[in-house]
Amino acid sequence: MRVALVKNIQTLWLTLFLALFLVAAGRARAGEELRFAVLYSLDGSERSMSESMEKGIRFALGELNRTGGVDGKRLEAVWVDYAGDLDRLREETLALVADPTILAIVGPIRSREVSIFSPEEYDQLEIPTILPFATMHDLLKGSRFRVRLAHSDQRQAEAAVAYSLAALDITRPALVWTKGSVSTSSFSNAVGKLFADSGITPSIDYAFPSDDAINDEAEQKKFFTACQEADVEMVYLNHVPSYLIEFFRGAGRFGLKAKFFGTENMDTWDVWMGSGNIINEACFISASQAEGENRVSLRITDFYNRTGEEIDGYSFLGYDAVSVLAESIKQGGADRLAIRDAMHQLQDLLLASGKVDIGEDGESSRDAYVLQITETEDGFFEPQAVGRYSTDKTLELLTPDLNSGWD
């Protein structure tokens, strides 16, 4: 009897041990972490972009680590808020480079911040870096340690002008940019050149003296009055969401008749719902796949719909940054140089923003979508896919589907 009892206890403990082992095997093991840093800013004009990106990164990490992490190890983020201070950003970056436990960096947010290191200077730091948003066309310049997830300004301009000519028959465009802003001028210059190549000279090429001036009422009046006098049809601009919202509101107050064509910076709920009726029929280029069959983006959207939180294109690109890093570690190993080599060779990787190839030049190759904002019957503003600009530079016009789930 006693022998049987002992055997039963031993069997019970063995069963319990096996159960715990199987549970542990399905999860990333605590204490065995792979660390990367997120450079973002919760102050100033980058705040809304940073907060949206953070949602996508946290969702991706939770999903990844619940299902085994990367080769059984947890992937963990070290959050570094540089508070919009470029000197602090430089110091924080160098400190992360000096920390051997940091395998890679995601960020910073804007082209201006990325540009504090030249590509040649940054490559000497030898830390793989994923740029979710920075769009300035020549920002990478052959860098071996940086990859970009968003479309470059040049590619966004190509898609915008192609759609404007094919679907909107634009002949009187206006360009807006701000002095000293590398990203706003990069997009504006590209749009202007593409129109010129098609025999169209922009009616207005307007430079605001600073970022803050774009929301100054007197400066706005000058620009919007010029647009009205030139009978401008479409205004092309690239700026961060916080500036765009106030700029659009100003356009509404001055009764601007022209519509707007923007970049991935308009791919945010704050812009759609905070700009007023002037945003109706505006177009922008999206970093995300607009087709409903993308199971990754649908999974993220479904989760946040259930939580009641809003997400946007920045959230998807934050998610994608984690996916790119995780896949690079799986293919190359937990070593900075190995991650660098692997992330420049990723092919046919399904991300929230669609299937992506990342080449030796660090650019993400995928279709760009043209979205048009439409006011719904219940007073909301939702973007609908109206064009697909493929990687071979051909444009396909799409029929908007108000039931597509693209919101």
User: Is the Cβ–Cβ distance between 106 and 60 less than 8 Å?
Assistant: no
Map tokens 């000519």 to a residue: 165
Identify which has the larger pLDDT, 339 or 134.
339
In CATH terms, the fold of domain 154-286 is Rossmann fold (3.40.50)
Cβ neighbours of residue 82 closer than 8 Å, sequence gap 6 or more: 39, 40, 41, 88, 89, 92, 108, 113
Question: For 297-316, how does the pLDDT look when each residue is reduced to its tens digit (9 = 90+)?
Answer: 666 666 666 666 777 788 88
What is the 3-state secondary structure of the chain? CHHHHHHHHHHHHHHHHHHHHHHHHCCCEEEEEEEEEEEECCCHHHHHHHHHHHHHHHHHHHHHHHCCCECCEEEEEEEEECCCCHHHHHHHHHHHHHCCCEEEEECCCCHHHHCCCCHHHHHCCCCCEEECCCCCCCCCCCCCCEEECCCCHHHHHHHHHHHHHHHHCCCCEEEEEECCCHHHHHHHHHHHHHHHHCCCCCCEEEEECCCHHHHCHHHHHHHHHHHHHCCCCEEECCCCHHHHHHHHHHHHHCCCCCEEEECHHHCCHHHHHHCCHHHCCCEEEECCCCCCCCHHHHHHHHHHHHHCCCCCHHHHHHHHHHHHHHHHHHHHCCCHHHHHHHHCCCCCEEECCEEEEECCCCEEECCEEEEEEEECCCCCEEEEEEEEECCCCCEEECCCCCCCCCC
Instruction: Give the whole-angstrom CA distance, residue 156 versus residue 266.
Output: 12
Model pLDDT, residue 138: 85
Instruction: Give the whole-angstrom CA distance, residue 170 versus residue 102.
Output: 49
Instruction: Give the whole-angstrom CA distance, residue 237 versus residue 192.
Output: 11
Question: For 62-75, how does the pLDDT look when each residue is reduced to its tens digit (9 = 90+)?
Answer: 999 999 999 999 99
Instruction: Give the whole-angstrom CA distance, residue 91 versus residue 303.
Output: 36
The reported pTM is 0.85
- 29-150+293-365 shares its CATH topology with 154-286: yes
What value does the mean pLDDT take over residues 242-263?
94
Model pLDDT, residue 383: 86
Question: For 84-120, how does the pLDDT look when each residue is reduced to its tens digit (9 = 90+)?
Answer: 999 999 999 999 999 999 999 999 988 889 999 999 9
Dihedral class, residue 168 (left if φ above 0, else alpha if ψ from -120 to 50, else beta): alpha
Structure tokens at 41: 């800013």
Q: Please report the sign of the dihedral spanned by the C-alpha atoms of residue 79, residue 290, residue 156, residue 247.
A: negative
Residue 1 has pLDDT above 60, yes or no: no
Model pLDDT, residue 314: 86
Identify which has the larger pLDDT, 180 or 296.
180
What value does the mean pLDDT take over residues 6-10?
43
Question: For 10-49, how does the pLDDT look when each residue is reduced to its tens digit (9 = 90+)?
Answer: 443 443 343 334 334 434 444 579 999 999 999 877 888 8
Structure tokens at 156: 């966004």
Model pLDDT, residue 5: 37
Model pLDDT, residue 364: 92
Instruction: Give the whole-angstrom CA distance, residue 140 versus residue 132.
Output: 13
Boundaries of every domain in the chain = 29-150+293-365, 154-286
Question: For 182-235, how does the pLDDT look when each residue is reduced to its tens digit (9 = 90+)?
Answer: 778 999 999 999 999 999 999 999 999 998 999 999 999 999 999 999 999 999
Map tokens 């293919």 to a residue: 331
Model pLDDT, residue 6: 39
Question: For 344-401, how does the pLDDT look when each residue is reduced to its tens digit (9 = 90+)?
Answer: 999 999 888 888 999 999 999 988 999 999 888 887 888 888 999 999 999 999 987 5
User: Is the Cβ–Cβ distance between 399 and 184 less than 8 Å?
Assistant: no
Q: Does domain 29-150+293-365 have CATH number 3.40.50.2300?
A: yes
